[in-house]
Structure 1
Amino acid sequence: MTTDSGAPGEGGGVEGTAAPDADLEAARELNRRFAEVRRAIGALEKVLLQGPRRYSRRDLADDQGVPERLTAVYWRSMGFTAVDRDTVVFTDDDADAIGDLAALVENGEISERTFANLSRGLGYHMGRLAMWLTEALVDEAKSSRGMTDAEARQRMLEVMPQFLEVFENQTMYAFRRQLASYSARAGTEVLNSVGADEPDELFPLQRAVGFADLVQFTRLAQSLSGSELAHVIGDFEAVCRDIVSVGGGRVVKTVGDEVMFLADTPEDGAQIALSLSESIEAEPGLPDVRVGLAWGPMFSRYGDVFGPTVNLAARLEGVAQPGSVIVDASTARAVSAALPGSFETLESQVHDLHGIGPVEVVELRRGNSVPLSLTL
């Protein structure tokens, strides 16, 4: 007796092969996407690395005269995974870059500690820049082309080579411009120290430092999708960076919903702080900010600032009400002396600030000064 093996429900017909066919098609699609990504990454890496990996740490020591220890320190400080001495990972460009900086150590021009600090700074900031540029292209593909995240990242890999020359030129231009600006500021510090009282070598810089953060951001974040949250943070950072730049200050760093900024004078700090609060209040979709501002001595190291004044500003932010700017009484007097009538203060109150103690604080308001404008 025979049976019809093609009958429905017997495992040999259309229904019996549907699932295996679907699994096979999914596997083929996965392999296709995998191959596309591999090709795109390979093509991009070929352009970026400009040559094959040819050297290990041992090879650089034997052929280029670069001490293995300095190669290891450089690679780690740049933020890359450590490699053993015989793993071939370095290109000719790697050998030149590591060798050029290592030569300064070998010639006694810089210490090994400075060597590590320089490479760490380059790795940190170039890593952030690389992330920023790639994510900007991903966001562009998603917003203008309606792509999914995966599709947008695939497109970024494919189009990056055509933007590379422009990005490299912009990076070098921005670096030189920023270096010129910071060098000029250092020169100003030298001139200001001539004939001045004995400087405080522990905290030699007089600056206004401020912290601004979004109010109830944690609660907001729980109600938004990842892309919506990224949009809020992006808008917040953009407004902050633009206001700080227009006001003549510098953004020290941003950490999620908080930005830290510097200004060279107490009045510039006050103008930036109030304009931040006003601009973000007027920005649809953004919650209010609270800002703490202090004027006083501090010291700078590797792109950051430290000292009691910085700690004070951070604590002042913590007691600020939504939409307000809080300063200590000493900073309020410095602002008033610099620009009488431009800013006003409410009645002072004493707050016991964590780690600092009782501090007389006041809320800063706008007087007859004009808010900073972002109009181009």
Structure 2
Amino acid sequence: MWPAVPMTMGWIFMDSMERPRGRGPGSGAVWYTPMAPPMRFRTLRPWLLETFGRPVHRVALDAGSTCPNRDGTRGRGGCFYCDVEGSGTGALRTGAGIAEQLERGIARVSRRDEDGGVIAYLQSYSNTYVEEGRLAEVLDVLRPRLAERGEVSPERPLVAVAVATRPDTIPDSALDLLADFSRDVPVWMELGLETADDAILLAINRLHTRAEFLDAVNRCRQRGLLTIGHAILGLPGDGREGARRTAETLARAGCSGVKVHHLMVLERTQFAALWRRGELETLDAETFVQWLADFVERLDPSQVLHRITGDSPADKLLAPKWGIHKNEIRRRLEEELARRGTRQGSAHSVRLG
């Protein structure tokens, strides 16, 4: 199976700027030893290229999942920032099943890059919050397209599977199933923390706790599954100190990677109504970069930043409308860290409190 390794050494989401050293025993997985990164923070694309030896592209899939905040198990109406597609594609409601979505996505990637690898990304809603047997059905659809021992071909381009879910909706049976699947290709879990403040998680109808997030990360790691923690900066009541505490929680929890972006107000969300009434403010770009620099300084140096800003279709986005490309945010973050003389991990501490 793919080797389970500590964060300081491994083959997936450990270090985006590492030097090849060999291959994991019997797996085809590349191992690395650290070398100093040229940037002040670790980004995903260089790591993907070096790890898989080729460009890798994500294909988002809608498996027909739902959410305990929508069906009444925990709440109604969803998280205040989440739209009716569950932050996903909504493709299943158009009649496209998983197999059709996957084939369309692979064909789209192939037109752009015929030699590229593919990550199957179960994105919409909470993908471990499904009827018994549904997750196994979805994985069975993916299985015939998995790369064999890391070798990509047009017939088998899938190099990894990513599963987005809530930290309070992960039964052990789902983790065991995913751990077994990870014997063939790496699997990582994308878990939403959003903020480390339980009061704010309650106020925005998120309805899970920091403790539940930490427990989910721990159970994933026990099975050799890697975790990507998700955070939102600028939630109402959170503030700059809240952003710092959230980064510290993600770092100390041992997440392999991190996604972070600013609060975006989208159509068909509960935040949209608050924003229209003038009861919700969003961050300007300059403030976000300042908070983001604080956040990055508090991450573990080995964590990979999968995302440092968000984007949304123009017809969905209400605020903020910066008119700034994500690469510009990356450039400004690099400049701010240089101005401070800091880098990712400069303010990191290792004790989880």
Same fold, judged at TM 0.5 (above): no
Point out the structure with max Rg over C-alpha. 1
TM-score normalised by the chain length of structure 1: 0.25
Answer 1 or 2: which has greater helix percent. 1
TM-score normalised by the chain length of structure 2: 0.26
